[in-house]
Structure 1
């Protein structure tokens, strides 16, 4: 298997680990802007024209969100399957929508949202079958400086509005799994701010209210909570389900009904396995670029 990665940041390293877990003989190439030393068994290329000689199985796009549009515009005509790290773009509009259609017509695609492979989310999705839902609350709060210890926040894309950062799209996972479980809302309201002590240009707080036929969904996201919390609460006519995503534990009316170990890398490996088995055979209908754009549309 031969794969090109565009963007070698922290998330790309997880995808590389997943690839090597699945196939120890995988050949990995990285697109670089200038000549540099090859590291960790990854071979360098310096022009997209080199793609024609590589016979790639697929391409991973994991560079900063604000250059996804240009990258994808340069790539789609090669008609190679694309594994696109979330979020799809940093903005939305006519040009983005046109590009999504072009890519959908020419490439097999998958937009990476690894929480779709979280065992707790899959379990609660199953438990909610035939339930009368009254209310849903999704919460994700963590401390951005802890994401990359020792790195100046000014150099982290998540903290920079200019690079496409911001909690509203960086933590798109919450919006994605709400869409995956409940579908598109009838209407939405949203509020964003960056007034915290982090003093960053990107939004560090987002609050969404999604309206469905018979219930509402409230989503709160932030970058400034030091004691990390990630929960998914569903109030039904029979009682309340509460999933702690960090512990992979589900409570029903305050009693534990599900608990299972799952490492973060397990989700990345399962996600990559899914992509290889489905997108490469052009059978994928799961979180394609069209679906990824629908979720992106919910962010703004």
Structure 2
């Protein structure tokens, strides 16, 4: 099977390294106009025309978010299945291109890389919610906080996508996993009640380093989401409270617990899985489920909703 990787930043390198472990299963090429300073030179393709003429079975789009949509539409028009790194685009996306891409889902597989859906602890929480272990959900609180320079210690954070508006950076886009999780676990977001974003820290960037949202979904009328990459130590997780109990999840440790109305706790007991395996799970799901889509993956339509929430939030926060 031929796999095209578009872009060779952190995500592109991760997928290239992962797929090269399966040399007999996948033939991999990298679409990148600039030179690659590594032993991957023989795998490089310089133009989109050459990439399409190579006739890949699937493409993994790992370029900056500002380029995702245009590249996805061009590749999708040729019947190439797409795994797109999150976010699917930026909030100022081209509406016509987005609608075209969503229509392609009738004929090809399109999956957006909201990787947290593949964590065993998230699957466990999803199952508990679907089995109605919680009755009437009253509130849900999601938090993701970290220190941007710690993300990639061998790279100047000021040069990364995260810190640059023109590349699709900022806390809302870069940490949009939590927005996706909220709509994945608590169903469609119907309303944005409140939003705020700002640049608070001394970090050098032209984007917001923190944001807060208050949302309403069909399952929960009180959802708070707080995002930042300007605090330490790192913290990531959520709690969902109801009239008869609570679910807590620590995403960093992959631990989750269900606490009933009497205070009795039921913990998820599986061991923590490394992120290499989680990305492999995501890729395997993408490859093996062309004809059997499930709600595990984030579709183009669902990813668009995340962007629309961000767009509205930025409007309210200005």
Whether TM-score is above 0.5 comes out as: yes
Following superposition, the deviation at residue 229 of structure 1 comes to: 0.4
1:223 to 212, 219, 229: 229
Q: Does 2:242 align with 1:236? A: yes
Q: Does 2:204 align with 1:196? A: no
What does residue 209 of structure 1 align with?
214
What does residue 12 of structure 2 align with?
12
What does residue 283 of structure 1 align with?
292
Structure 1, gaps ≥5 residues long: none
Going from structure 1 to structure 2, the CA distance change for 1:166 and 1:37 (only over 3 Å counts) comes to closer
Alpha-carbon distance in structure 1 between the residues aligned to 2:299 and 2:204: 35
What is the DSSP-based 3-state SS (H/G/I as helix, E as strand, rest coil) of the residue aligned with 1:186? strand
Alignment of 1:1-300 (within 5 A): 1-21=1-21, 24-34=24-34, 39-40=39-40, 43-91=43-91, 92=93, 94-105=95-106, 107-128=108-129, 129-130=131-132, 131-132=134-135, 133-188=137-192, 189-213=194-218, 214-253=220-259, 255=265, 257-259=267-269, 260-279=271-290, 282-284=291-293, 286-300=297-311
Going from structure 1 to structure 2, the CA distance change for 1:212 and 1:101 (only over 3 Å counts) comes to closer
Going from structure 1 to structure 2, the CA distance change for 1:139 and 1:29 (only over 3 Å counts) comes to same
Going from structure 1 to structure 2, the CA distance change for 1:276 and 1:14 (only over 3 Å counts) comes to same
**What is the total number of aligned residue pairs between the two structures?**
298
What is the DSSP-based 3-state SS (H/G/I as helix, E as strand, rest coil) of the residue aligned with 2:268? strand
CA deviation string 1:48-80 (max 9, x = no partner): 222354231201110001111332243232111
* TM-score normalised by L of structure 1: 0.90
Following superposition, the deviation at residue 181 of structure 1 comes to: 1.4
Alpha-carbon distance in structure 2 between the residues aligned to 1:34 and 1:198: 28
Runs of 4+ residues deviating >4 angstroms? 21-25, 34-38, 253-256
Q: Whose relative contact order is higher, 1 or 2, with alpha carbons under 8 Å and at least 6 apart?
A: 1
Quick check: 68-77 or 57-66, which moved more?
A: 68-77
What is the DSSP-based 3-state SS (H/G/I as helix, E as strand, rest coil) of the residue aligned with 1:39? coil
Alpha-carbon distance in structure 2 between the residues aligned to 1:78 and 1:39: 29
Structure 2, gaps ≥5 residues long: 312-318
Alpha-carbon distance in structure 2 between the residues aligned to 1:127 and 1:283: 23
Quick check: 60-69 or 14-23, which moved more?
A: 14-23
Contact 1:234 1:240 in 2 (8 A): yes
Alpha-carbon distance in structure 2 between the residues aligned to 1:49 and 1:201: 34
Following superposition, the deviation at residue 234 of structure 1 comes to: 0.8
